[in-house]
Amino acid sequence: MIRVAMAYVPSRAAAEEAVQETWIAVVRGIDSFEGRSSLKTWAFRILINVAMRSGARERRSMPFSALAQSEDTGEPSVDPDRFLPADHDLFPGHWAVAPTRWPTPEEGLLAGETREVITTAIAGLPKAQRTVISLRDVEGWSSAEVCEALEISAGNQRILLHRARSRVRSAIEDYHGAVEEIDYDAVTAQIFGDTAVEEKSKP
Amino acid sequence: MTDQPTEPPADDLACTEEVEIITDYLEGALPESDARRLERHIETCPGCTEYLDQMRTLAGSLGDLREEELAPELRAGLIDAFRDFHRS
């Protein structure tokens, strides 16, 4: 809960306060809880409202669905420079610099230094994306539970999740700097025979 | 037996498209035909194979960040809050 609240308030102390306020609201409101959603998603809906309100004290707070819309900017998931141009003769829109395997320790992606890279990347995400990736991938909620708690559509939820995961993936890649330029001459040679490339490399 | 519809070429999906629909694929939200198209592309594309693997690994690893334990101060604060609530 604190992780989710942190997206909306400036400090851990404020997040703890929001969580506390939420639990009190849950206990107070339990009689009015109608069981139309799970207790868990209901409690998180309260938490997000509380956190948004306290994070936006001066400004008017917007509903989560509006926040979600505002974060769907249609930015590319991977830097466009990583791909060949759309009008490339043989491989339009294919990787120019493909992703390469991360050096993953046996104990998993989060065992080594990458943990810090990932937590920093998540903390730097826009609020709605951060909320969705926290609930889905960190807390392990289903997409239906996330949609219910945040009152957003399944499509909206997927967009936020995709943007969030894409950004975190890029951050890991930037950290490892392990990307490999594809030798398209070699690929072409493999497909069409060596002649084309041999011709070119003749002195 | 009826004529099979002509299969599109194995590689009719650009990698630029693949990276945009990968989450829909992992979420099972792609229409069947699009999912098969994506799978055919991935079979022949090492870059996209690795990309899919990274997105899958990432999604499956973040659960390790979950903190089960509440900070002691917060736990104490919550217990106090409940106590006050019951008294009021």
Domains, chain A, with CATH or none: 1-61 (no CATH), 63-203 (1.10.10.10)
- Give the model's pLDDT for residue A178: 53
A14 contact residues in B (CB cutoff 8 A): none
Q: Among residues of chain A, what percentage have pLDDT more than 70? A: 86
End-to-end CA separation in angstroms for chain B: 78
A131 contact residues in B (CB cutoff 8 A): none
- Give the model's pLDDT for residue A119: 92
Q: Phi and psi dihedrals of A37, rounded to 5?
A: -125, 175
Range of A64-73, A93-102, A128-137 with top mean pLDDT: A128-137
- Could you tell me the pLDDT band of residue A53, with boundaries at 50, 70 and 90? confident
B77 contact residues in A (CB cutoff 8 A): 16, 20
Chain B nearest C-alpha distance from A203 (Å):
32
Angle between helices B72-87 and A12-29 (to 10 degrees): 30
H-type alpha helices, chain A: 2-5, 12-29, 39-55, 64-70, 114-123, 127-133, 143-150, 154-176, 184-192, 195-201
Indicate the DSSP class of residue A194: S
d(Cα A135, Cα A131) in Å, to the nearest integer? 6
Nearest to A95 by CA among A87, A81, A83: A83
Half-sphere exposure of B43 (CA within 13 A, CB side): 10
B27 contact residues in A (CB cutoff 8 A): 143, 158, 161
Chain B nearest C-alpha distance from A95 (Å):
6
Which is higher by pLDDT, A89 or B69? A89
- Residues B51/B21, Cβ–Cβ less than 8 Å: no
Strand partners, A97: A181
Contact B65 A118 (CB under 8 A): yes
B71 contact residues in A (CB cutoff 8 A): 16
Residues of B with CB under 8 A from a CB of A: 14-17, 19-20, 22-24, 27, 29, 45-48, 50-51, 53-55, 57-59, 61-67, 71, 73-74, 77-78, 81-82, 85
Nearest to A83 among B16, B50, B53 (CB): B16
- Residues A159/B21, Cβ–Cβ less than 8 Å: no
Mean per-residue pLDDT, A94-119: 84
- Give the model's pLDDT for residue A60: 59
Nearest to A158 by CA among A173, A140, A146: A146
Name the average pLDDT for chain B. 80
Chain B nearest C-alpha distance from A57 (Å):
23
The number of C-beta contacts closer than 8 angstroms across A and B is 120
Contact A86 B63 (CB under 8 A): no
- Give the model's pLDDT for residue B6: 47
Contact A118 B29 (CB under 8 A): no
d(Cα A109, Cα A130) in Å, to the nearest integer? 19
B69 contact residues in A (CB cutoff 8 A): none
ipTM over 0.85: no
Q: Among residues of chain A, what percentage have pLDDT more than 90? A: 33
